[in-house]
Structure formats: C-alpha cells, structure tokens
Structure 1
Amino acid sequence: MLGRRIENRLMALQVHMEGQLRVLRNILETRIEHRKIADRINKAVFQKIGSRYFYVEKKNKESWYSAADRCRQLGGHLATIQDEWEMDNVFSGVQPGSYWVDIYSLGGDEGPYFSSLSGKEVKYFKWGIDLPKFDHNHCVNNGD
C-alpha cells in the first residue's frame, strides 16, 4: 500500500516535470526564433532602444500596409510597443507626427486591437491627446 502511494506520487511528479519541460522547450524555441530574426535585421538602418531594434521612417508617408511591407523588406516588422518606457524612448527622438505601429482591429472602431505579428491582443497602447485612434482601415497610428 505504501509502495503504491509512492509510485502514484512519483508518476504525478513525472507528469508535472514533463509539463514544465514542455514549457521550457517552448520558451527556448521562441528565444531561438527571436535570435534568428534579430540576426537577419539590417542593423545599419535600425536603432537599438532597450533590447530591441527600431526603424522610424522620417521622410516617406505610407499606408499601414505599405509601412508593414517596408519593415519586412528591411528584415523587421511594425513595432508592437510593449510599455510606457518603450513608447517614450522610441518616439522621443523623432519629429512630431504620426507613425504606424503593429496594432489593428477587425472589430471596428472600438477594438479589440491585435498585433499582426503575434495575432494576440495587444497589452499596451497609448493614444496621443486629441488624435484619432484609427483610420478607415481600423489600423492604429501613434500620433505625437
């Protein structure tokens, strides 16, 4: 009877450890993929801010779709701003204006808003004062 309880506990621990191992493998695979993507980025045109690289187009005005395509041509993607610190630092050195970010809504003007890169709902965005939150395509631009 004691042997059976020990065996059951060991099996439960094994199942738990296998689950933890899967989580760690997923994290490792994600980090490896991010590293591969980072290695493909043309760093000559990107600026490192924090642990990520950003490119801000200062001359050409483009649609959200054209901007997303241009980013892919450069080896990147439209930025999904992670938090207030990143927002302040990415846009602090640029001229006032509107800049596309990787947020869109298929649900109309009220959202929800998603990242085109991850397909997940975005956790952070901040609207400029008295600026439109969307255009007719329900894409978001960060107006400063």
Structure 2
Amino acid sequence: MLNHTAVLFFVLLTGSHYGSLAGSEDLEIQNPWDNLFQIQNPWDNLSTLLKNIPKKTEFPPPKFRLIGSRYFYIEQQIEQNWTTAASTCRQMGGYLAAIKDEEEAQAIIARLSPFVFYYVGINDHEIKRSFVSLASGKPAFLKWSKGEPDYVFHDQNCVSIFNFNDNDEGLMLGPCSNKHNFICQADVEI
C-alpha cells in the first residue's frame, strides 16, 4: 500500500508540473531540477550587487529617523570607504544620502559631530564637475565648504559633509578610498 501511495504522489507531482499530456507534441517539457542549482556569477560588479540586495518592506527602515521631511540614518561610529558605505546603506534598506535643499542640510548638520567627515551619496564619477545623487542619478543640491570643490588629487570623486562648527559647514570633495562615517536616506527622492 505504501508503494502505491508513493507512486500516486509522484504521478500527481509530475502531472501538476507538466500539466495535461493532451497536445503534448506542442509542449516543451523541462526537468523541474534544471534550475535548482544555478550559481550566481561571482564577477558581478558593485552596481549589480547593490541592485540585487533585497529591499526591506518596512518603511522607514529600522534605525532611520525623520529629519525634516525625509528619513535618514547617520552612522556615528563606523568609518567606511565610499563604496562600502553605499553598500551598507543598501543593506539597511536605503541609499547613501543626497541632500535636497538648504533647510534639510542645516537639519542634518545639526545632528553631526563637529570635525568629523560623513560620506553622502553625491559623486562625479561619470562626468567631472557634474555631481549627481547615487540614489536617483539626479543633480544634487550642493552647498560647498569654502574653497570646494578642490581637485587636489586625481581620484577625488566622492563627496562628504563636514561640520567645522564655525559657520563653514558644507560639502567637501575627496578620494572615495578614505574612510569616513556616512549618512543614509530611506527614499530615492534626490
């Protein structure tokens, strides 16, 4: 009896997968195990990997706080290079942040530790001096610190925000390999 039950289960399982055999000459029958063990290409680039990180369904993501009209997370303890910071923000359910206007900039700066660099999601990787948001690809709001942007080094493409605590807070351009704290945003508005 047990053998008949196992055979009946197998017939039902394969029948539900393959459907009716009527008109089977038009059906392309595939083995259900063919796609089970596909392996992801290990050479995917960073942007592909960032896109493949599952989006969290909770909004705002945990640890993000309302600052002005948008949700942000400000990392105060861990320093990372720009690319790693971008990946960390994606894993948290957001994006490396871009600021939309002066009011939002002031609200964020008020929450930053003085004399500490924080990466934001603004860069000019594509076209030099054309600064865009990593999240949206749109031109970003720019309030530069005095003397910025200053291309002292050839690999300066990433933007950070710095609070000098003496009315000279603003954006600064630097190498993406430097390690700084960072700010994430929960949306793709900017």
> Per the shorter chain, which TM-score range?
0.5 to 0.7
Residue deviations 1:88-132 (CA, integer Å, cap 9, x gap): 101202202111111110223xx111112111222x111223566
Alignment correspondent of 2:142: 125
Decide whether the 8 Å contact of 1:68 with 1:78 is kept in 2: yes
What is the aligned partner in structure 1 of residue 78 from structure 2?
A: 60
Structure 2 contact 82–119 (Cα < 8 Å) conserved: yes
Report the identity percentage: 35
Tell me the residue number matched to 1:103. 122
Q: For 2:96, what is the secondary structure of its paired residue?
A: coil
Larger radius of gyration: 2
Q: Distance in 2 between matches of 1:73 and 1:38?
A: 12
Aligned counterpart for 1:48 among listed residues 63, 66, 78: 66
**In structure 2, the residue corresponding to 1:60 is in which secondary structure?**
strand
- Which residue pairs with 2:101 in the alignment? 83
Q: Distance in 2 between matches of 1:61 and 1:132?
A: 22
Q: For structure 1, list consecutive stretches of 5 or more residues without a partner in the other structure.
A: 1-35
Q: Which has the higher contact order (CA 8 A, sep 6+)?
A: 2
User: What RMSD over aligned residues (CA atoms) do the two structures have, in Å?
Assistant: 2.4
> What do the CA deviations read for 1:65-95 (whole angstroms, capped 9, x no partner)?
1111111111111111000110010120220
TM-superposed deviation, 1:38 = 7.6
More strand by share: 2
TM norm structure 1: 0.63
Q: How far apart are 1:40 and its partner, in Å?
A: 4.2
Aligned residues: 105
Q: Is the 8 A contact 1:133 1:141 kept in 2?
A: no
